Amino acid sequence: MDSDMQNSVKQQQPAQRIQIYPPTTPGVSPFWIAKYERDAKKYWDQFYRRHQDKFFKDRHYLDKEWDQYFSGSGKKVILEVGCGAGNAVFPLIATYPDVFVYACDFSQRAVNLVKAHKDFNETRVSAFVCDLTADDLSEHISPASVDVVTMIFVLSAVSPEKMPLVLQNVKKVLKPNGHVLFRDYAVGDLAQERFSTKDQQISENFYVRGDGTRAYYFSNEFLTSLFKEQGLDAEELGLCCKQVENRARELVMNRRWVQAVFRFSDSVNRTGSSEAPTKSDLCCQEISQPKADADPISDFVVDMSEGMAGEMFGVPTTNDNEVIKIELGGCDFKIKVLSKEHQHTCKSTGLMLWESARLMAAILARNPSIVAGKRVLELGSGCGGICSMIAAGSASIVVATDGDSKALELLNQNIKSNLRPPFLNKLVSKKLEWGDRDDIDAIKAMNNEGFEVIIGTDVTYIAEAILPLFSTARELISSNSSAEKDQTPAFILCHIFRRVDEPSLLSAASRYGFRLVDKWAKGSPIDEPQSRSLISSWFPENSFEDHIPTSALNIMYFQLE
Protein backbone atom coordinates (compact mmCIF):
# COMPACT_ATOMS: atom_id res chain seq x y z
CA MET A 1 0.00 0.00 0.00
CA ASP A 2 2.75 2.45 0.98
CA SER A 3 4.72 1.51 -2.15
CA ASP A 4 1.72 2.14 -4.40
CA MET A 5 1.13 5.49 -2.81
CA GLN A 6 4.74 6.55 -3.29
CA ASN A 7 4.70 5.50 -6.95
CA SER A 8 1.52 7.50 -7.47
CA VAL A 9 3.11 10.60 -5.99
CA LYS A 10 6.19 10.18 -8.21
CA GLN A 11 3.98 10.02 -11.31
CA GLN A 12 2.02 13.10 -10.34
CA GLN A 13 5.05 15.13 -9.28
CA PRO A 14 8.02 13.76 -11.20
CA ALA A 15 10.31 16.76 -10.79
CA GLN A 16 8.77 18.91 -8.11
CA ARG A 17 11.24 21.28 -6.48
CA ILE A 18 10.01 22.56 -3.15
CA GLN A 19 11.97 24.62 -0.64
CA ILE A 20 10.97 26.02 2.73
CA TYR A 21 10.94 29.57 1.37
CA PRO A 22 8.69 31.05 -1.33
CA PRO A 23 9.85 30.92 -4.96
CA THR A 24 11.66 34.02 -6.19
CA THR A 25 9.27 36.64 -7.49
CA PRO A 26 10.14 39.98 -9.11
CA GLY A 27 10.00 43.00 -6.86
CA VAL A 28 9.22 43.41 -3.19
CA SER A 29 6.19 41.67 -1.67
CA PRO A 30 3.20 43.75 -0.45
CA PHE A 31 3.97 42.73 3.14
CA TRP A 32 7.47 44.22 2.99
CA ILE A 33 6.32 47.28 1.05
CA ALA A 34 3.91 48.09 3.88
CA LYS A 35 6.59 47.37 6.48
CA TYR A 36 9.16 49.66 4.81
CA GLU A 37 6.59 52.44 4.78
CA ARG A 38 5.44 51.87 8.35
CA ASP A 39 8.97 51.56 9.77
CA ALA A 40 10.73 54.17 7.63
CA LYS A 41 11.80 56.17 10.69
CA LYS A 42 13.20 53.07 12.34
CA TYR A 43 15.34 52.15 9.34
CA TRP A 44 16.84 55.66 9.15
CA ASP A 45 17.41 55.66 12.89
CA GLN A 46 19.31 52.40 12.48
CA PHE A 47 21.25 53.96 9.58
CA TYR A 48 22.45 56.88 11.74
CA ARG A 49 23.14 54.61 14.69
CA ARG A 50 25.43 52.57 12.46
CA HIS A 51 27.13 55.37 10.52
CA GLN A 52 26.82 58.36 12.89
CA ASP A 53 28.14 61.39 10.97
CA LYS A 54 30.75 59.44 8.98
CA PHE A 55 28.69 58.41 5.94
CA PHE A 56 28.07 61.57 3.88
CA LYS A 57 30.66 64.20 3.09
CA ASP A 58 29.99 67.79 4.14
CA ARG A 59 28.35 69.66 1.28
CA HIS A 60 30.84 72.42 0.71
CA TYR A 61 29.66 72.86 -2.87
CA LEU A 62 26.47 74.69 -1.83
CA ASP A 63 28.04 78.15 -2.10
CA LYS A 64 29.54 77.30 -5.50
CA GLU A 65 26.22 76.16 -6.91
CA TRP A 66 23.70 78.44 -5.17
CA ASP A 67 25.57 81.42 -3.69
CA GLN A 68 23.06 83.94 -5.04
CA TYR A 69 20.26 82.36 -2.99
CA PHE A 70 22.15 82.44 0.32
CA SER A 71 23.96 85.79 0.05
CA GLY A 72 22.66 89.34 -0.32
CA SER A 73 21.50 92.06 1.98
CA GLY A 74 19.63 91.17 5.12
CA LYS A 75 19.32 88.01 7.16
CA LYS A 76 18.31 84.88 5.25
CA VAL A 77 16.21 82.13 6.80
CA ILE A 78 17.00 78.66 5.48
CA LEU A 79 15.11 75.39 5.97
CA GLU A 80 17.17 72.24 5.47
CA VAL A 81 14.71 69.38 4.90
CA GLY A 82 16.10 65.97 5.86
CA CYS A 83 19.10 67.49 7.57
CA GLY A 84 20.70 64.15 8.46
CA ALA A 85 23.83 64.67 10.54
CA GLY A 86 24.11 68.31 9.42
CA ASN A 87 26.33 67.89 6.36
CA ALA A 88 24.66 70.89 4.70
CA VAL A 89 23.79 72.87 7.82
CA PHE A 90 27.28 73.50 9.17
CA PRO A 91 28.96 74.42 5.86
CA LEU A 92 26.14 76.97 5.40
CA ILE A 93 26.51 78.70 8.75
CA ALA A 94 30.30 78.69 8.38
CA THR A 95 30.13 80.36 4.96
CA TYR A 96 27.22 82.77 5.51
CA PRO A 97 27.29 84.58 8.89
CA ASP A 98 23.86 86.14 8.36
CA VAL A 99 21.83 83.00 7.74
CA PHE A 100 19.65 81.21 10.26
CA VAL A 101 18.95 77.54 9.54
CA TYR A 102 15.98 75.43 10.54
CA ALA A 103 17.10 71.80 10.33
CA CYS A 104 14.53 69.01 10.45
CA ASP A 105 14.64 65.26 9.99
CA PHE A 106 12.25 62.47 10.92
CA SER A 107 15.10 60.48 12.47
CA GLN A 108 15.61 61.40 16.11
CA ARG A 109 19.19 60.09 15.94
CA ALA A 110 19.96 62.39 13.01
CA VAL A 111 18.67 65.43 14.90
CA ASN A 112 20.66 64.40 17.97
CA LEU A 113 23.80 64.28 15.83
CA VAL A 114 23.16 67.83 14.65
CA LYS A 115 22.71 69.07 18.21
CA ALA A 116 25.86 67.26 19.33
CA HIS A 117 28.00 68.83 16.58
CA LYS A 118 30.84 71.01 17.83
CA ASP A 119 29.59 73.96 15.74
CA PHE A 120 25.95 73.74 16.80
CA ASN A 121 24.70 77.06 18.11
CA GLU A 122 21.07 77.69 18.98
CA THR A 123 21.37 81.31 17.83
CA ARG A 124 22.18 80.04 14.33
CA VAL A 125 20.44 76.65 14.10
CA SER A 126 17.11 75.25 15.25
CA ALA A 127 17.04 71.44 14.89
CA PHE A 128 13.88 69.42 15.44
CA VAL A 129 12.23 66.12 14.53
CA CYS A 130 9.49 66.34 11.91
CA ASP A 131 7.93 63.85 9.51
CA LEU A 132 6.89 66.06 6.62
CA THR A 133 4.44 63.43 5.33
CA ALA A 134 2.43 63.56 8.58
CA ASP A 135 3.49 66.42 10.89
CA ASP A 136 2.62 70.11 10.39
CA LEU A 137 5.82 72.02 9.68
CA SER A 138 4.18 75.34 10.58
CA GLU A 139 4.05 74.21 14.22
CA HIS A 140 7.84 74.69 14.29
CA ILE A 141 8.29 77.52 11.78
CA SER A 142 6.13 80.59 11.21
CA PRO A 143 4.15 80.47 7.96
CA ALA A 144 5.66 82.33 4.99
CA SER A 145 8.92 83.06 6.85
CA VAL A 146 11.54 80.97 5.01
CA ASP A 147 13.60 82.41 2.15
CA VAL A 148 15.22 79.21 0.90
CA VAL A 149 14.46 75.51 1.34
CA THR A 150 17.21 72.99 0.59
CA MET A 151 16.24 69.43 -0.33
CA ILE A 152 19.46 67.47 -0.87
CA PHE A 153 19.01 63.74 -1.49
CA VAL A 154 15.95 63.65 0.76
CA LEU A 155 12.75 63.52 -1.31
CA SER A 156 13.97 60.25 -2.85
CA ALA A 157 13.56 58.58 0.57
CA VAL A 158 9.80 59.28 0.50
CA SER A 159 7.29 57.05 -1.25
CA PRO A 160 6.10 58.78 -4.47
CA GLU A 161 2.46 58.96 -3.38
CA LYS A 162 3.49 60.97 -0.28
CA MET A 163 5.83 63.40 -2.04
CA PRO A 164 3.01 65.94 -2.63
CA LEU A 165 2.40 66.02 1.15
CA VAL A 166 6.04 67.01 1.70
CA LEU A 167 5.83 69.84 -0.83
CA GLN A 168 2.53 71.09 0.58
CA ASN A 169 4.14 71.22 4.01
CA VAL A 170 7.18 73.06 2.70
CA LYS A 171 5.04 75.58 0.85
CA LYS A 172 3.32 76.60 4.09
CA VAL A 173 6.51 78.12 5.51
CA LEU A 174 8.06 79.37 2.26
CA LYS A 175 7.82 83.08 1.46
CA PRO A 176 6.16 84.12 -1.80
CA ASN A 177 8.90 84.03 -4.44
CA GLY A 178 10.98 81.90 -2.08
CA HIS A 179 13.11 79.15 -3.58
CA VAL A 180 13.55 75.42 -3.20
CA LEU A 181 17.06 74.18 -4.04
CA PHE A 182 16.91 70.55 -5.06
CA ARG A 183 19.37 67.77 -5.78
CA ASP A 184 18.53 64.06 -5.90
CA TYR A 185 19.00 60.76 -7.77
CA ALA A 186 18.17 60.63 -11.48
CA VAL A 187 16.75 57.84 -13.60
CA GLY A 188 19.55 55.86 -15.21
CA ASP A 189 21.93 56.06 -12.27
CA LEU A 190 24.01 52.90 -11.95
CA ALA A 191 22.63 52.25 -8.48
CA GLN A 192 19.15 51.96 -9.97
CA GLU A 193 20.38 49.32 -12.38
CA ARG A 194 22.00 47.38 -9.52
CA PHE A 195 18.75 47.45 -7.56
CA SER A 196 16.80 46.19 -10.56
CA THR A 197 18.92 43.05 -10.81
CA LYS A 198 18.34 42.20 -7.13
CA ASP A 199 14.51 42.22 -7.07
CA GLN A 200 14.51 45.28 -4.81
CA GLN A 201 11.92 47.29 -6.74
CA ILE A 202 8.94 48.60 -4.78
CA SER A 203 7.30 50.45 -7.65
CA GLU A 204 8.40 52.27 -10.81
CA ASN A 205 11.76 53.97 -10.11
CA PHE A 206 11.39 53.24 -6.37
CA TYR A 207 13.67 50.72 -4.62
CA VAL A 208 14.68 49.46 -1.20
CA ARG A 209 18.29 49.15 -0.08
CA GLY A 210 19.65 46.26 1.91
CA ASP A 211 19.33 48.21 5.17
CA GLY A 212 15.62 48.94 4.68
CA THR A 213 16.01 52.58 3.57
CA ARG A 214 14.50 53.50 0.21
CA ALA A 215 15.48 55.51 -2.86
CA TYR A 216 13.46 57.00 -5.70
CA TYR A 217 15.06 57.91 -9.05
CA PHE A 218 13.63 61.06 -10.64
CA SER A 219 13.03 61.83 -14.28
CA ASN A 220 12.98 65.52 -15.17
CA GLU A 221 9.42 65.17 -16.41
CA PHE A 222 8.14 63.61 -13.18
CA LEU A 223 10.00 66.13 -11.04
CA THR A 224 8.76 69.26 -12.81
CA SER A 225 5.19 67.94 -12.87
CA LEU A 226 5.34 67.06 -9.17
CA PHE A 227 6.48 70.52 -8.12
CA LYS A 228 4.25 72.41 -10.55
CA GLU A 229 1.13 70.68 -9.21
CA GLN A 230 2.00 72.19 -5.81
CA GLY A 231 2.55 75.69 -7.19
CA LEU A 232 6.34 75.50 -7.44
CA ASP A 233 7.73 76.46 -10.85
CA ALA A 234 11.09 75.27 -12.14
CA GLU A 235 13.55 78.08 -12.82
CA GLU A 236 16.61 75.91 -13.36
CA LEU A 237 16.92 72.24 -14.20
CA GLY A 238 19.91 70.13 -15.15
CA LEU A 239 20.84 66.48 -15.41
CA CYS A 240 24.26 66.02 -13.87
CA CYS A 241 26.58 63.08 -14.50
CA LYS A 242 29.87 62.02 -13.04
CA GLN A 243 32.06 58.99 -13.49
CA VAL A 244 33.36 57.85 -10.10
CA GLU A 245 36.34 55.52 -9.91
CA ASN A 246 37.10 53.34 -6.91
CA ARG A 247 40.62 52.13 -7.65
CA ALA A 248 40.81 49.88 -4.58
CA ARG A 249 37.87 47.81 -5.83
CA GLU A 250 38.51 48.46 -9.52
CA LEU A 251 35.06 49.96 -9.96
CA VAL A 252 34.00 52.66 -12.39
CA MET A 253 30.56 53.99 -11.50
CA ASN A 254 28.43 56.31 -13.61
CA ARG A 255 26.34 58.46 -11.28
CA ARG A 256 23.42 60.63 -12.37
CA TRP A 257 21.68 63.39 -10.44
CA VAL A 258 19.00 65.90 -11.23
CA GLN A 259 19.61 69.40 -9.86
CA ALA A 260 16.98 72.12 -9.92
CA VAL A 261 15.73 75.39 -8.48
CA PHE A 262 11.99 75.89 -7.93
CA ARG A 263 10.23 79.14 -7.04
CA PHE A 264 7.00 79.57 -5.13
CA SER A 265 4.79 82.18 -6.73
CA ASP A 266 1.47 82.94 -5.01
CA SER A 267 -1.63 83.82 -6.99
CA VAL A 268 -0.95 87.57 -6.60
CA ASN A 269 2.51 87.38 -8.14
CA ARG A 270 1.71 84.98 -10.99
CA THR A 271 2.12 86.53 -14.45
CA GLY A 272 -0.15 84.02 -16.15
CA SER A 273 2.69 82.55 -18.17
CA SER A 274 3.38 78.86 -17.69
CA GLU A 275 6.91 79.13 -19.04
CA ALA A 276 9.81 79.38 -16.63
CA PRO A 277 12.12 82.38 -17.02
CA THR A 278 15.30 81.68 -18.92
CA LYS A 279 18.11 80.84 -16.51
CA SER A 280 21.64 79.58 -16.68
CA ASP A 281 21.62 75.84 -16.08
CA LEU A 282 23.18 74.57 -12.88
CA CYS A 283 25.77 72.64 -14.83
CA CYS A 284 26.83 75.69 -16.85
CA GLN A 285 24.67 74.92 -19.89
CA GLU A 286 22.27 77.53 -21.22
CA ILE A 287 18.66 76.36 -21.47
CA SER A 288 15.63 78.37 -22.43
CA GLN A 289 13.31 76.46 -20.10
CA PRO A 290 13.33 73.22 -18.07
CA LYS A 291 13.47 70.19 -20.36
CA ALA A 292 12.65 66.58 -19.55
CA ASP A 293 15.39 65.42 -21.89
CA ALA A 294 18.18 67.73 -20.77
CA ASP A 295 21.58 66.64 -22.03
CA PRO A 296 23.91 65.12 -19.43
CA ILE A 297 26.76 67.31 -18.24
CA SER A 298 29.93 65.49 -17.28
CA ASP A 299 32.02 68.01 -15.31
CA PHE A 300 30.29 68.02 -11.95
CA VAL A 301 31.25 67.71 -8.30
CA VAL A 302 29.88 64.52 -6.82
CA ASP A 303 28.52 64.33 -3.31
CA MET A 304 29.48 60.77 -2.44
CA SER A 305 31.73 59.37 0.26
CA GLU A 306 33.49 56.03 0.18
CA GLY A 307 30.70 54.63 2.32
CA MET A 308 28.02 55.78 -0.08
CA ALA A 309 29.70 53.92 -2.91
CA GLY A 310 29.25 50.72 -0.96
CA GLU A 311 25.64 51.36 -0.01
CA MET A 312 24.52 52.55 -3.40
CA PHE A 313 26.32 50.01 -5.54
CA GLY A 314 26.05 46.82 -3.56
CA VAL A 315 29.75 46.77 -2.65
CA PRO A 316 29.55 46.35 1.13
CA THR A 317 32.08 48.20 3.23
CA THR A 318 31.20 45.96 6.15
CA ASN A 319 30.32 42.30 6.44
CA ASP A 320 26.72 41.46 5.50
CA ASN A 321 26.67 38.79 8.23
CA GLU A 322 26.38 39.00 11.98
CA VAL A 323 27.25 36.47 14.68
CA ILE A 324 24.72 35.22 17.22
CA LYS A 325 26.16 33.75 20.41
CA ILE A 326 24.26 30.87 22.03
CA GLU A 327 25.14 28.88 25.15
CA LEU A 328 23.73 25.33 25.13
CA GLY A 329 24.74 22.22 27.01
CA GLY A 330 27.75 23.95 28.51
CA CYS A 331 29.07 24.89 25.06
CA ASP A 332 29.25 28.31 23.45
CA PHE A 333 28.15 28.45 19.83
CA LYS A 334 28.83 31.35 17.49
CA ILE A 335 26.33 31.18 14.64
CA LYS A 336 26.91 33.36 11.60
CA VAL A 337 23.68 34.54 9.96
CA LEU A 338 22.64 37.23 7.54
CA SER A 339 22.57 40.54 9.41
CA LYS A 340 19.14 41.88 10.31
CA GLU A 341 19.53 44.97 8.18
CA HIS A 342 19.96 42.77 5.09
CA GLN A 343 17.25 40.22 5.92
CA HIS A 344 14.55 42.54 4.59
CA THR A 345 15.51 42.02 0.96
CA CYS A 346 16.51 38.39 1.25
CA LYS A 347 14.27 35.82 -0.43
CA SER A 348 15.61 32.87 1.54
CA THR A 349 14.40 32.30 5.09
CA GLY A 350 17.33 29.94 5.66
CA LEU A 351 19.85 32.72 6.28
CA MET A 352 18.61 33.54 9.76
CA LEU A 353 18.10 31.72 13.06
CA TRP A 354 14.49 31.03 13.98
CA GLU A 355 12.92 30.80 17.45
CA SER A 356 11.88 27.19 16.95
CA ALA A 357 15.46 26.14 16.20
CA ARG A 358 16.62 27.73 19.47
CA LEU A 359 13.97 25.83 21.42
CA MET A 360 14.60 22.47 19.74
CA ALA A 361 18.35 22.83 20.18
CA ALA A 362 17.85 23.56 23.88
CA ILE A 363 15.67 20.46 24.21
CA LEU A 364 18.27 18.26 22.53
CA ALA A 365 21.02 19.70 24.72
CA ARG A 366 19.13 18.87 27.91
CA ASN A 367 17.77 15.55 26.61
CA PRO A 368 20.55 13.87 24.59
CA SER A 369 18.71 10.53 24.88
CA ILE A 370 16.31 11.73 22.16
CA VAL A 371 19.03 11.18 19.54
CA ALA A 372 21.66 9.14 21.42
CA GLY A 373 23.18 6.50 19.15
CA LYS A 374 20.62 7.22 16.41
CA ARG A 375 20.77 8.32 12.79
CA VAL A 376 19.44 11.90 12.64
CA LEU A 377 18.22 13.97 9.69
CA GLU A 378 17.39 17.69 9.87
CA LEU A 379 15.11 19.05 7.17
CA GLY A 380 15.46 22.75 6.32
CA SER A 381 18.29 23.34 8.74
CA GLY A 382 19.11 26.73 7.24
CA CYS A 383 22.47 28.37 7.78
CA GLY A 384 22.44 27.89 11.57
CA GLY A 385 22.23 24.11 11.85
CA ILE A 386 22.18 24.50 15.63
CA CYS A 387 19.95 21.43 16.14
CA SER A 388 22.24 19.26 14.02
CA MET A 389 25.34 20.46 15.83
CA ILE A 390 23.81 19.67 19.23
CA ALA A 391 22.63 16.25 17.97
CA ALA A 392 26.15 15.43 16.76
CA GLY A 393 27.22 15.26 20.39
CA SER A 394 25.36 11.97 20.99
CA ALA A 395 23.93 10.70 17.67
CA SER A 396 25.73 8.12 15.50
CA ILE A 397 25.38 10.25 12.35
CA VAL A 398 23.67 13.57 11.56
CA VAL A 399 22.75 14.91 8.13
CA ALA A 400 21.78 18.59 7.95
CA THR A 401 19.91 19.53 4.77
CA ASP A 402 18.57 22.60 3.02
CA GLY A 403 17.52 23.50 -0.49
CA ASP A 404 19.22 26.89 -0.66
CA SER A 405 22.85 26.96 -1.77
CA LYS A 406 23.61 30.19 0.13
CA ALA A 407 22.21 28.71 3.34
CA LEU A 408 24.30 25.57 2.85
CA GLU A 409 27.44 27.61 2.23
CA LEU A 410 26.96 29.50 5.49
CA LEU A 411 25.95 26.29 7.28
CA ASN A 412 29.26 24.66 6.37
CA GLN A 413 31.12 27.65 7.74
CA ASN A 414 29.20 27.44 11.01
CA ILE A 415 29.79 23.70 11.36
CA LYS A 416 33.53 24.02 10.81
CA SER A 417 33.89 26.97 13.18
CA ASN A 418 31.88 25.40 16.03
CA LEU A 419 32.62 21.66 15.97
CA ARG A 420 35.80 19.67 16.41
CA PRO A 421 36.49 15.93 15.90
CA PRO A 422 35.01 13.50 16.67
CA PHE A 423 31.71 15.44 16.55
CA LEU A 424 32.68 17.23 13.35
CA ASN A 425 33.17 13.88 11.64
CA LYS A 426 29.63 12.77 12.49
CA LEU A 427 27.87 15.76 10.88
CA VAL A 428 27.53 16.25 7.13
CA SER A 429 25.47 18.74 5.14
CA LYS A 430 23.60 17.90 1.96
CA LYS A 431 21.39 19.69 -0.51
CA LEU A 432 17.78 18.54 -0.29
CA GLU A 433 14.78 20.12 -1.97
CA TRP A 434 11.69 18.32 -0.78
CA GLY A 435 10.20 16.13 -3.45
CA ASP A 436 13.30 16.25 -5.64
CA ARG A 437 14.08 12.70 -6.74
CA ASP A 438 17.82 13.19 -7.26
CA ASP A 439 18.30 14.85 -3.87
CA ILE A 440 16.35 12.14 -2.06
CA ASP A 441 18.26 9.35 -3.77
CA ALA A 442 21.57 11.01 -2.85
CA ILE A 443 20.56 11.03 0.83
CA LYS A 444 19.47 7.40 0.62
CA ALA A 445 22.78 6.43 -0.95
CA MET A 446 24.69 7.61 2.08
CA ASN A 447 22.29 5.99 4.54
CA ASN A 448 20.13 3.23 3.11
CA GLU A 449 18.78 2.19 6.52
CA GLY A 450 16.76 5.36 6.93
CA PHE A 451 16.82 7.85 9.80
CA GLU A 452 15.53 7.12 13.27
CA VAL A 453 14.95 10.78 14.11
CA ILE A 454 13.96 13.46 11.62
CA ILE A 455 13.75 17.06 12.84
CA GLY A 456 12.17 20.10 11.19
CA THR A 457 12.06 23.53 12.82
CA ASP A 458 9.81 26.24 11.37
CA VAL A 459 9.40 24.40 8.08
CA THR A 460 5.59 24.31 8.01
CA TYR A 461 4.56 27.82 6.96
CA ILE A 462 4.35 27.38 3.16
CA ALA A 463 1.15 25.54 2.29
CA GLU A 464 2.48 24.21 -1.02
CA ALA A 465 5.47 22.65 0.75
CA ILE A 466 3.58 20.55 3.32
CA LEU A 467 2.82 17.51 1.14
CA PRO A 468 6.39 17.34 -0.28
CA LEU A 469 7.70 17.76 3.28
CA PHE A 470 5.85 14.69 4.59
CA SER A 471 6.48 12.77 1.36
CA THR A 472 10.23 13.34 1.72
CA ALA A 473 10.18 12.47 5.42
CA ARG A 474 8.29 9.25 4.61
CA GLU A 475 10.93 8.16 2.12
CA LEU A 476 13.83 8.89 4.45
CA ILE A 477 12.57 7.71 7.82
CA SER A 478 13.59 4.27 9.09
CA SER A 479 10.90 1.60 8.98
CA ASN A 480 12.20 -0.25 12.07
CA SER A 481 9.67 -0.33 14.88
CA SER A 482 10.07 -0.75 18.62
CA ALA A 483 7.84 -1.65 21.53
CA GLU A 484 9.01 1.48 23.30
CA LYS A 485 7.29 4.61 22.01
CA ASP A 486 10.37 6.80 22.47
CA GLN A 487 12.54 4.29 20.56
CA THR A 488 10.34 4.04 17.46
CA PRO A 489 11.57 6.27 14.55
CA ALA A 490 10.04 9.72 14.90
CA PHE A 491 9.45 12.86 12.87
CA ILE A 492 9.57 15.90 15.19
CA LEU A 493 8.28 19.30 14.11
CA CYS A 494 8.80 22.47 16.12
CA HIS A 495 7.10 25.55 14.74
CA ILE A 496 4.82 28.54 15.03
CA PHE A 497 1.50 28.12 13.25
CA ARG A 498 1.36 30.72 10.52
CA ARG A 499 -0.33 30.12 7.16
CA VAL A 500 -0.74 26.36 7.73
CA ASP A 501 -2.97 25.20 10.58
CA GLU A 502 -2.85 21.98 12.60
CA PRO A 503 -5.69 20.17 10.75
CA SER A 504 -3.87 20.72 7.44
CA LEU A 505 -0.66 19.28 8.88
CA LEU A 506 -2.45 16.25 10.30
CA SER A 507 -4.18 15.61 6.97
CA ALA A 508 -0.86 15.70 5.08
CA ALA A 509 0.79 13.51 7.72
CA SER A 510 -1.96 10.89 7.49
CA ARG A 511 -1.70 10.83 3.71
CA TYR A 512 1.91 9.68 3.96
CA GLY A 513 1.43 7.21 6.80
CA PHE A 514 2.30 9.37 9.82
CA ARG A 515 0.20 9.63 12.96
CA LEU A 516 0.45 12.23 15.68
CA VAL A 517 1.69 10.53 18.84
CA ASP A 518 2.17 13.58 21.03
CA LYS A 519 2.07 17.37 20.93
CA TRP A 520 3.01 20.29 23.14
CA ALA A 521 2.20 23.97 23.19
CA LYS A 522 3.73 26.72 25.31
CA GLY A 523 1.60 27.43 28.35
CA SER A 524 -0.25 24.09 28.54
CA PRO A 525 -1.73 23.67 32.07
CA ILE A 526 0.01 21.03 34.16
CA ASP A 527 -3.23 19.15 34.78
CA GLU A 528 -3.77 18.38 31.08
CA PRO A 529 -2.89 14.81 30.01
CA GLN A 530 -0.47 16.07 27.35
CA SER A 531 1.57 17.79 30.08
CA ARG A 532 2.50 14.33 31.38
CA SER A 533 3.32 13.06 27.90
CA LEU A 534 6.58 12.20 26.19
CA ILE A 535 7.32 15.75 25.07
CA SER A 536 6.53 17.28 28.46
CA SER A 537 9.13 14.98 30.01
CA TRP A 538 11.78 16.84 27.98
CA PHE A 539 11.12 20.00 29.98
CA PRO A 540 12.62 20.39 33.47
CA GLU A 541 10.50 21.69 36.29
CA ASN A 542 11.94 25.18 35.94
CA SER A 543 10.85 25.17 32.24
CA PHE A 544 12.71 26.56 29.27
CA GLU A 545 11.78 30.20 29.60
CA ASP A 546 15.26 31.35 28.53
CA HIS A 547 14.89 29.46 25.26
CA ILE A 548 11.23 30.18 24.46
CA PRO A 549 11.09 33.69 23.02
CA THR A 550 7.41 33.46 22.08
CA SER A 551 4.34 31.75 23.50
CA ALA A 552 3.24 30.66 20.03
CA LEU A 553 5.72 27.78 19.71
CA ASN A 554 4.40 24.24 19.24
CA ILE A 555 5.96 20.77 19.00
CA MET A 556 4.39 17.81 17.14
CA TYR A 557 5.75 14.27 17.48
CA PHE A 558 4.90 11.87 14.62
CA GLN A 559 5.56 8.17 14.09
CA LEU A 560 4.66 5.80 11.28
CA GLU A 561 1.28 4.13 11.57
* Residue 532 to residues 259, 462, 494, 529, 541, Cα–Cα distance (Å): 71, 31, 18, 6, 12
The secondary structure of residue 246, as a DSSP letter, is E
Query: Is residue 319 pLDDT above 60, yes or no?
Result: no
- Give the pLDDT of residue 182: 97
- Give the pLDDT of residue 52: 80
Average pLDDT over residues 220-231: 95
Q: Are 22 and 348 in contact (CB under 8 A)?
A: no
Query: Is residue 422 pLDDT above 50, yes or no?
Result: yes
The closest alpha carbon to 403, from 112, 20, 87, belongs to 20
Q: Are 180 and 261 in contact (CB under 8 A)?
A: yes
By the 10 Å C-beta count (0-12 exposed, 13-18 middle, 19+ buried), 109 is classed as buried
Query: Is residue 277 pLDDT above 80, yes or no?
Result: no
What predicted TM-score, i.e. pTM, was given to this entire model? 0.54
| Cα distance between residue 233 and residue 179, in whole Å | 9
**pLDDT tens digits for range 348-367:** 567 778 889 999 999 999 99
Q: Are 457 and 354 in contact (CB under 8 A)?
A: yes
User: Average model confidence (pLDDT) for the chain?
Assistant: 81
Average pLDDT over residues 218-246: 89
Domain 30-267+275-313 sits in CATH 3.40.50.150: yes
Q: Is 439 helix (H, G, I), strand (E, B) or coil?
A: helix
- Give the pLDDT of residue 553: 87
Q: Are 337 and 324 in contact (CB under 8 A)?
A: yes
- Give the pLDDT of residue 348: 58
Q: Where are the beta strands (DSSP E) in 389-488?
A: 397-402, 427-431, 453-457
Domains 30-267+275-313 and 320-560 equal at CATH topology level: yes
Average pLDDT over residues 245-249: 58
The closest alpha carbon to 423, from 348, 371, 476, belongs to 371
pLDDT category at 502 given cuts 50, 70, 90 is very high
Average pLDDT over residues 280-298: 38
- Give the pLDDT of residue 250: 57
Q: Are 260 and 182 in contact (CB under 8 A)?
A: yes
Query: Is residue 33 pLDDT above 80, yes or no?
Result: yes
- Give the pLDDT of residue 519: 92
The closest alpha carbon to 459, from 534, 524, 556, belongs to 556
Domain boundaries, the chain: 30-267+275-313, 320-560
Domain 320-560 sits in CATH 3.30.428.10: no
Over the Cα atoms of the chain, what is R_g?
30
Question: What does the angle CA 388 – CA 431 – CA 458 come to, to the nearest 5 degrees?
Answer: 50
Which of the residue ranges 51-60, 279-288, 452-461 has the most confident prediction, judged by mean pLDDT? 452-461
Longest dimension (CA), the chain: 97
Q: Are 238 and 282 in contact (CB under 8 A)?
A: yes
Query: Is residue 300 pLDDT above 90, yes or no?
Result: no
